Structure 1
Amino acid sequence: MIFNRLLVASLALFVSVPAVQARPCATGDAGATRRVEIGATGRSMLVHFPAGYRTGRRAPLVWLFHGSGGSGENILKQSKLAEAADRHGFIVAAPDGGIAVNQGFVWNIPGVPTITGKIPGPDDADDVAFVLAATDWLAAQRCADSARVYATGLSGGGRMTSWLACVAANRFAAIAPVVGLRAGNPLASDPRLPDPATCAPARPVPIIAFAGDADTTNPIQGGGAGYWQYTMHMAEARWADINGCRSGPRTRELSPAHYEIRYERCRDGADVVGRIERGGKHVWLADNDAMWTFLSRFRRN
C-alpha cells in the first residue's frame, strides 16, 4: 500500500513538471544581418536571417562565397541574395576567405593557385574545415537545418562551392556556382581535362551553375588562368558522369538571352544544369529565385 502511494505520487510529480525545452536559435533577428563569432574556430562571418524568421524553427542554410579578393560583406551586396532569402525564408552565411590578399580574401583550394599565383600551403587556413564547423555550430544553435544546407559563390567562390561538393558532398544538399563551376583541379598532364582523382564525392550532388558566354576571366570555352583551363561544358559532363546521369546533354532555350544545358535522369535526382547568359560577363548573373527553386528541391538524407 505504501509502495502504491509512493508510485502514484511519483507519477503525479513527473506529469506536473513540464519538459525542458531546447533553447531556440538566439543568434539573429528576423530580417537582420549580423557578424557572428563561430564557436571555437576563431573566425567570424556575416549571417543574414530572413524576414519572417521564427526562432525555434530551423531554416535552410545557403553558404555564399565571395570572389577572389572580395569579402563576405561585398558579395552580400553584389548578389542581393539576402533579399532572395527574405522572400524564400533561408539563412545566408557569408564568410571571408581564410587567406588575406591586399584588401580582401581568397579561398584555400588545395593544389590550385590563388589569384596571387601561389598554391596554398599547410600553414594557410583550412576553409573547408571552417565551413563544416560553422555549419555544425549553426545547427547546434538550432538555427540551421543540417539536412538543407546549400552552397553558392561567385568566381573563386564558385570554385570553392565546387570544391566543397567534391570533398564534402555528404554535407550539402545541392550547389549553385556562379561563373565558377569546376569538377576538380585541371589534370597536370592535360589541363584541358579535369583530374578525376581530385573530385570523387561520396554521393551525387545536384548542380545548377550560372555563367556568361562573354566571360573572359573564367571563360566557358576554357583557357584562362592556371586554376581554370578546362571548359565549363567539360565540368558539367564530368559532374554528369559522377552523378550517373542517363540523359543529356540537352539544350533548352529559356529566352533570347538565356539557355540551359541539362543532364537529367541522374542518380537520386541529382540533375546537372548549366544556365548560360548570352553576352554575360564575369559578374553575379544568377537568377536568385530560379536558383532557390532548384536548390530547395533537395535535402540531404
Structure 2
Amino acid sequence: MVHAVEESKAAVVHPTALVAPGARLGRGVVIGPWCTVGPDVVIEDNVELISHVVIDGHTRLGQGSRYFPFCTVGMAPQDLKYKGEPTRCEVGARTVIREHVTIHRGTATGSGVTHVGDDVLIMANAHVAHDCWLGDRVIIVNNVVMGGHVVIENDARVMGSAAIHQFVRIGHAALVGGVAGVEADVIPYGSVLGNRARLVGLHWIWLRRNGVQSSEIHRMRKAFFTLYPKTDEEGTFATRLEAVKRDYSNDPRIAEILAFIDAPSRRGLVRIARGDYSAAETEGA
C-alpha cells in the first residue's frame, strides 16, 4: 500500500532530501539526509533510505527494505542501445542494499525489468546490471559484478569479487566462490571455484543447514558423480545425463538439476574441475 507524498503523513523526509512530485511513499517510510527520489518511484511501507541514496526511474522498493549510503537503484543501464525507454527496476520486501551498490533498470531489448527478490542481501560495492533477475534470499558479497541478463535463482550465494558474464544462470542454492570468473551456467546446488570457474561439487553445507536428510544427500552425491565422474573416460555427457534421468529423476532436487540442464541457455554449463575433487570428496564445498 502506497500513498501520494502529500497524503503520507507518516513518512519522514529529511529537509535536505529531494523527493520529486509524483513519487509515492508508503507509511513509515524514512528518507534520510541528502537522498534523491525520482518522480516515477514507488516506495512501499517501512522502507528506509539512510542517507545519500539515489532512487530513479520507474522503480519500486519493496516493503521493509533498507538502503545504505551512496547506493543507487533504478539508474539508466550501461548499454549503448538504451535510448531512454521507460523500463523498470524492482526490489523486494526486506531486502538490504549496502553502501555503493548500483542496480540499473532494464532495457527495451531485454526483459525490460531488473528484479531483485525478497530477503536479499547485496553487500558493498556490488553491481547488478540491466535486466538481471535475482530470486529470494540471495546473498551477494562485496565487490561482485555481473553483466546484463544474469539470472541468480533463490538461495544462491555469490562470494566476494566474483565476476559473472552476461546471460549466465546461477541455479537454486548454488555457491560461487570468491574471485571466481563465471562464464557459464552453474547447476542448482552446484559449487564453483576459480578463474575460470569450475564445478567442484555440490553445496553440501547449504543442503545440511536446510534440513535435507542424509539419505537424500547420499543420492544427490551418487547422481552428481554419475553425471560428473572423476575422469572423462566414462562415456559422453549425454549418455551420463540419460543414466541420471533414468535412475534419479524421481528425486525432486535431482529433477530440478536435470530441468536446469535441459532449459535453454546462452552460455552452456560450467565445466567440471577435472583432477581436483577435494571439495566434493570432503563435502566441504
TM-score if structure 2 supplies the norm length?
A: 0.27
TM-score (ref. length: structure 1): 0.26
More helix by share: 1
